[in-house]
A and B are shown apart, each in its own frame.
Chain A
Amino acid sequence: MSVATIIGIWIAAALTFMIFSFLYKDNPVYKFGEHVFLGVSLGYGWCIYYWNDIFPQAIGPLFYAPTPEERDWLVLIPIVLGSFILLRVVPKLAWLSRYSFALYIGGFAGIAVPTEIAGRFLPQLTATMNPFGPDWIAAVTQTVLLVGVFCTVVFFFFSLEHRGTVGIIGRVGIVYIMVAFGAAFGYTVMARVSLLIGRFQFLIFDWFNGVILGRT
Chain B
Amino acid sequence: MQRFSEIILNLDRRIIYALVFICVFFPLIKPLELPFTPTQEVRDAFNDVEALDPGSVVLISCDFGPSTIPENYTMLQALLHQCFGNDLRVIVLTLVPAGAALGNRGLMEAVKFADDQGQLRYPDLEYGVDYVYLGYRPGGTAVMLAIGQSFTTAFPRDYEQTPTKTMPLFKEISALGDCQYIFDIASVGYPEYWVSYASERENVPLSVNCTAVSAAQYYPYYQSRQFRGLVGGMKGAAEYEKLVGMEEILGRLPDATKGMDAQSVVHIFIVIAIIVANFFYFFQERQRAKGGAR
- Same complex for A and B? Answer yes
Q: Are B100 and A48 in contact (CB under 8 A)?
A: yes
Residues of B within 8 A of A188 (CB): 212-213
The interface-forming segment of B119-127, B132-140, B172-180 is B132-140
Q: Which among A44, A52, A108, A194 has the greatest number of chain B C-beta atoms within 10 A?
A: A194
Q: Is the interface of A mostly helix, strand, loop or mixed?
A: helix
Number of interface residues of B (CB under 8 A): 59
Residues A107-159 near B (CB distance < 8 A): 108, 111, 115-116, 118-120, 123-124, 126-127, 145
Does A201 belong to the interface (CB within 8 Å)? Answer: yes
Residues B20-47 near A (CB distance < 8 A): 20, 24-25, 28-29
Q: How far is the CB of A179 from chain B (nearest CB, A)?
A: 10
A24-B14, A127-B220 known; A194-B159 Cβ under 8 A: no
Cα of A204 to Cα of B100 in the assembled complex, Å: 27
Q: Are A52 and B267 in contact (CB under 8 A)?
A: no
Chain A interface category by residue count: 35 or more
Mask, B100-120, CB within 8 Å of A = 1, is 110000000000000000000
Q: Are B262 and A197 in contact (CB under 8 A)?
A: yes
Residues of B within 8 A of A24 (CB): 14
Q: How far is the CB of A53 from chain B (nearest CB, A)?
A: 6
Shortest Cβ-Cβ A-B pairs, 4 listed: A119-B196, A127-B224, A198-B70, A191-B212
Q: 19 A-B Cβ contacts within 8 A?
A: A60-B156, A115-B196, A119-B195, A119-B199, A126-B224, A127-B224, A145-B223, A187-B213, A190-B212, A190-B233, A190-B263, A191-B211, A193-B262, A195-B67, A197-B259, A198-B70, A198-B255, A201-B259, A204-B28
